[in-house]
Every structure is written in structure tokens, then in C-alpha cells.
Amino acid sequence: MSRTLTTVGFDADDTLWHNERFFRITQDRFAELLADYTHKDHLEERLLEAERRNIGHYGFGIKGFVLSMIETAIEVTEEQVPASVIAELMAAGRDMLQHPIELLPHAREAVEALAGSHRIVLITKGDLLDQERKLAQSGLGDLFDGVEIVSNKTPDIYRTIFDRHGDGPDRAMMVGNSMRSDVVPAIEAGGWGVYVPHGLVWALEHAEAPNDAPRFAELESLAGLADLVNDIG
């Protein structure tokens, strides 16, 4: 009997391993460094505006985040930001790029459970070198049949990936913690979108849940993924 699902895509950051919490720690340090110039809430608003503007230029990831912090620091201090602050922000970015990988609960078990019966693809966006580093350190690399590091996640990109690595999006599933990037566009492409909430979500990744979509599912954790896939068939 042929399977309904033949391919399962996994997001990486905050689906398989921790990521957003390191951004939050750095952002708190950013607020401390600029405390003499502006309130934390206002600084966060300005930083988010800069990130939104800069995604098209720098893409997703740590390097774009650091450049947006520097740009925001220049703006809120009216070009008076000390060079020492810029140096600290750059150092914080380097620390983030070197931070050890910590797998989320059930991540390895979920991937291993499906690796023998389905094509497993890692689909992540962000800086190429950083994502390659994290995958290598995760110890999960050998479990994936394919790895796709993309500049953005759209329905067309999911169609292309699931055509390349599987039997098309209608026989594929995407699993992730971002409603905007992992779930909604995968469903719009014709596949399943499975939301696994992480708790910490970047503001630019928020989106409404497609609760009326027949191919939408939500799990409390990756522990329930294998059962969901088996139920679908």
C-alpha cells in the first residue's frame, strides 16, 4: 500500500534546537548598553522596525540582527553611540555564532522515528555558514535525505523542495515552530503544516493559525509527531 505521506520537512531553529533565546539574551544586553539614551520598550520597537526594513538586504539570521542593532544604536543616539558599544554588539554577535547547539526535547527521537520510513528534509532559512555549523554540531545531519537552506519560505519554495526531494507537496508535511514560515506557506503549497510551539517566537514570525485548513495540525511537542504521521498514513 502506498503512503499518503512520503516526505517530512523539519524546520531547524527552535524546532530541533534552541535559537531564539540567544537573540533575547543579546537584545537584553543591547538595551543595557543603550539605557542612557532610550527606554527598553522604545529601543525594541526601533530594532524591530530596522529588522523589518533590513530582511530584504541582509536576510534572516545573526548577522542581519547585529547590523540592525548597530543601525538602531546609531539612530537612537543621533549618531553619538560610542565605539565601545558598537564593539560590544559585534562581540555579542560573534558569541552567538559560536554558541553550542542544544537539541530540544524529543528532537532526535522524532527525526529517527521517521527516517527509516520517509524522506526526511531539513528546511531552514538564515545564514548559510551558521546553519551549516549548527547542523554539523547537532549530530542529526546523517538522518536527513536532503538539506535546504533558503533565503525565505514561500509556497513556491516548498513546492520546489518537495518536488525535488519527494513526490510533490500534496504528499509532504512541514513541521516547525513558526506559523508564518513553516505552517501557512506549506499548507498553501498543498502540503500538511504541523505547528509545534516553542514559546519564544520572533515578532516577525507571528501569523494567525489556519484552523479551518484540513491539513493543519498542532502538537504540544515533537513527541507526538510519529503518531500523527502514522495516523495520516
Joined grid coordinates for residue 27: 537584545
Mean pLDDT by 10 residues, the chain (233 residues): 83 93 93 94 94 89 94 95 96 92 95 95 91 94 96 96 95 96 97 91 81 96 96 88
Encode 53-66: b = buried (16+ Cβ within 10 Å), e = exposed.
eeeeebbbbbbbbb
Residue 128 has a pLDDT of: 87
Residue 117 has a pLDDT of: 93
Question: 82: exposed, middle or buried (C-beta count within 10 Å: 0-12, 13-18, 19+)?
Answer: exposed
